[in-house]
Amino acid sequence: MSEIRFPLPDVGEGLTEAEIVQWRVSPGDRIALDQVFVEIETAKSLVELPSAFEGVVAELLVEEGATVDVGTPILVIQTDASNVADASPAPAAAPAGAEVAAPAVPAPATSVEPAASATSAPASAEAPDGGGAVLVGHGSQAPARSRRRRHPSPGGAHESLAVPAPAPAPAAASAATSAVASAVAAANAPTAPQLSAPGVPVIAKPPIRKLAKDLGVDLSRVTPTGPIGDVTRDDVIREATQASVFRNIQTPDQPTDRETRIPVKGVRKAIANAMVQSAFSAPHVSVFVDVDASRTMEYIKRLKASPDYAGVKVSPLLIMAKAIIWAVRRNPTVNAQWTDEEIVVKHFVNLGIAAATPRGLIVPNVKEAQAMSLVELATALEQLTLTAREGKTQPAEMQGGTITVTNIGVFGMDTGTPILNPGEVGIVALGTIKQKPWVVDGEVRPRFVTTIGGSFDHRVVDGDVASRFLADVASIIEEPALLLE
């Protein structure tokens, strides 16, 4: 018997500690190679750790909620094969040379298979590959072995090779037949656009089901509007938006405790350190501009109706992201990094997106955003946002950013003074877009207006560069057709 003490690895550059959030295994459990056995929280991200060994979990060395340093042992694994077998209850012994057969299922009248040879080798009492005894229809099969299905034959060639098993109870067989018939009938019957009745399967494509899961939407409560009574992407988003509104208007009861103490650790500790470092090391300068975004809103409407953008989320943030990439080409010094010895201007754009998640603020970035088409950028932004909401953003996705955009307009805010993401010299804030009185050709008209703000590191970006850059971003929001140039 040998024991392996699994140390906490460094899952990101410069990681020194992590918090044990949830164990996925318990002492005595079998653990396979690459099986996720624990969730840890690093600086701003939740990471699932896979096992590098196979064996039996002997001991959990760290409790959930504890913070440990990199290199500290957190798990003990026994790798002796005999212990793996002893970790699970042994199957009932079978007579020597006998094979435990599944309950016989009558074959359809139209299905005829030749009987297997009577010289077929009897099954070993030990399951192949250490899989253990499994129920019919579950578990794993040996990849290199295959046998034809055995059906009862008049010759009785198999009577000496199988232990007789009782036929399934008539009531159970009848119930199974009824369940199958009900499922087939429900799948073939057209569904009216109404809430799904209890027990009736919801018609939705796999991507729609994943989107519903990501947004926390119960598909059985969604009113389907698809052509065959299926749930569409818009149905899910509408339900999620309504649920969000209702959650926001609910007022919780006043706590009975006079105060609540929240430990400063994990995400909150990382946010605090980053903001202090940024605010007190980089001299911030902020500029703002009001923009007529009416043409951007019209452009978004046309994109949503385009077949090329079917199934892709299109929002003002997408146009804003593309505008920033375009403006960086005209003002490259806003896409740079300050060091004590030199200014490093980046000729690629890893566009950071400030995302508010239940675990706190994180800033993952879209790698090589300057090389993406508009539809590719839209897909990347959507995937990045969904991953952040799930708390599954990896450390590598938050490293190497060059410039950041934050969409405070989703919270109804007109503008703000964003703090730079450490290591960057520019960040742009997009305010809410709403109709306001706007002077057009000497006349006051209702237009969709927003305010764009930006903060810059004044050691690198002078006031004229910051102003030109923000003016370029504003020009795209006013006239997105400039992106076609």
393 vs 164: CA distance, rounded Å: 54
Q: Which residues are catalytic?
A: 458
Residue 54: which of 34, 73, 72 has the closest Cα? 34
- Give the 3-state secondary structure of the chain: CCEEEEECCCCCCCCCEEEEEEECCCCCCEECCCCEEEEEEECCEEEEEECCCCEEEEEECCCCCCEEECCCEEEEEECCHHHHHHCCCCCCCCCCCCECCCCCCCCCCCCCCCCCCCCCCCCCCCCHHHCCCCCCCCCCCCCCCCCCCCCCCCCCCCCCCECCCCCCCHHHHHHHHHHHHHHHHHHHCCCCCCCCCCCCCCCCCHHHHHHHHHHCCCHHHCCCCCCCCCCCHHHHHHHHHHHHHHHHHCCCCCCCCCCCCCCCCHHHHHHHHHHHHHHHHCCEEEEEEEEECHHHHHHHHHHHHCHHHCCCCCCHHHHHHHHHHHHHHHCHHHCEEECCCCEEECCCCCEEECEEECCEEECCEECCHHHCCHHHHHHHHHHHHHHHHCCCCCHHHHCCCCEEEEEHHHHCCCCCCCCCCCCCCEEEEECCCEEEEEEECCEEEEEEEEEEEEEEECCCCCHHHHHHHHHHHHHHHHCHHHHHC
Under a CB-based contact definition with an 8 Å cutoff, are residues 36 and 14 in contact? no
